[in-house]
Amino acid sequence: MSAIDKPENPAVAESAFLKACRREPVPHTPVWFMRQAGRSLPEYLKVREGIPMLESCMRPELVTEITLQPVRRHGVDAAIYFSDIVVPLKAIGVDLDIKPGVGPVVEQPIRSRADLERLRDLTPEDVSYVTEAIRMLTAELGATPLIGFAGAPFTLASYLVEGGPSKNHEHTKALMYGDPELWADLLDRLADITAAFLKVQIEAGASAVQLFDSWVGALAPADYRRSVMPASTKVFEAVAPYGVPRIHFGVGTGELLGLMGEAGADVVGVDWRVPLDEAVRRVGPGKALQGNLDPAVLFSSREAVEAKTREVLDAASGLEGHIFNLGHGVLPTTDPGALTRLTEYVHEQTAR
């Protein structure tokens, strides 16, 4: 496929975040946090009051405000578009909701070939509010890059097949092992929806994309390679012509890091269980790493946070490209002041 020319603000292209993604020298290690916009911020709780989660994702002005909040407050090096991984599914008519304190719940789980037919392709018109919000956001963000994102086929399939959050993914695995053909078709359909959703975000102005395969750590490497990787690779290949960095993240994926890089990522996100100097051995050369402070560390003393952050930075010192992040999302009861101090600390410690 030939390259797609994408107009880019030169200041954004030269940002520390995009340089680190491209494994170029940086003025300081860039920092952003998964789930940086959300319940840890009082200003978020205030603007969200009385508005259901999914509805808030469809209001461009609200999305713009919520996305900007952590950038203003913490001085992070990138914004992440405020949305949720189930938004594209909702947009094509899947009957689902995000229940507070629970997560996404699907009215009629997808478990048969007839169920699969309910998943139609996503068009840009289905998510016109995303295009509108990203245009507003990039105008406001100036030199700060915007990260677009989507759920990866496996993690989306898990919500659709289980009907909600799951610890053991038993229905998902039953389908994966019991009807490999239907499973492959389901993941392939989800790959197309996900790719279409990421393209909308890139075309509207996102400078990087992250594919969240949050729950794929539930799989052994052989099953990942056979039953999941083809669909994730299809997503990465579909957005490759835009030339924007592609980040791939999952939780509990220590044994999958090499394969997740191989699936087509430019940057591999690492949770807190594998130190970055070991992660780079597993991922291999030619990719930047993102991570990986345990989000629970932020509940300890300032000294302890700094000591644990130092460990992450030391483990990352030999990397060609490092983007500092938590090993998973910000926990809702995190003190926002701890996130601001952490951002400053990483900037200070890595200033070159």
Which of the residues are catalytic?
A: 35, 39, 48, 84, 159
Closest approach of Cβ 226 to ligand CP3, in Å?
Answer: 23
Q: Which of 6, 22, 28, 35 binds ligand CP3 (CB under 6 A)?
A: 35
Question: Which span (79-87, 116-124, 265-273, 308-316) binds ligand CP3, by CB under 6 A?
Answer: 79-87
Nearer to ligand CP3, 103 or 275 (CB): 103
Q: Are 64 and 141 in contact (CB under 8 A)?
A: no
- The DSSP code sequence of 170-222 is HHHHHHHHH-HHHHHHHHHHHHHHHHHHHHHHHHHT-SEEEEE-TTGGGS-HH
Q: Which amino acid is at 163?
A: G
80 binds ligand CP3 (CB under 6 A): yes
Return the structure tokens found at 289. 């790493």
Beta strand 79-80 with 267-269: parallel, antiparallel or unpaired? unpaired
Phi and psi, residue 206, nearest 5°:
-70, 140
Using CB under 6 A as the binding rule, the residues of this chain from 86 to 115 that contact ligand CP3 are: 98, 100-104
50 binds ligand CP3 (CB under 6 A): no
Alpha carbon distance 270, 256 (integer Å): 10
Return the structure tokens found at 213. 């395969």
Nearer to ligand CP3, 68 or 98 (CB): 98
Closest CA to 150 of 185, 192, 197: 197
In the shown chain, the binding pattern of residues 126 to 155 toward ligand CP3, with x for contact by CB under 6 A and - for none, equals -----------------------x------
Q: Which of 20, 21, 31, 34 binds ligand CP3 (CB under 6 A)?
A: 34
Q: Which of 17, 183, 212, 345 binds ligand CP3 (CB under 6 A)?
A: 212
Return the structure tokens found at 54. 């999914």
Radius of gyration for the alpha carbons in the chain, expressed in angstroms and rounded: 19
Site residue total, ligand CP3 (CB under 6 A)? 22
Closest approach of Cβ 50 to ligand CP3, in Å?
Answer: 11
85 binds ligand CP3 (CB under 6 A): yes
- For residue 9, cis peptide bond before it (omega within 30 degrees of 0): no
Closest CA to 129 of 199, 79, 58, 62: 58
Closest approach of Cβ 318 to ligand CP3, in Å?
Answer: 28
247 binds ligand CP3 (CB under 6 A): no
The site for ligand CP3 (CB under 6 A) is made up of 34-39, 48, 53, 80, 82, 84-85, 98, 100-104, 149, 212, 214, 329
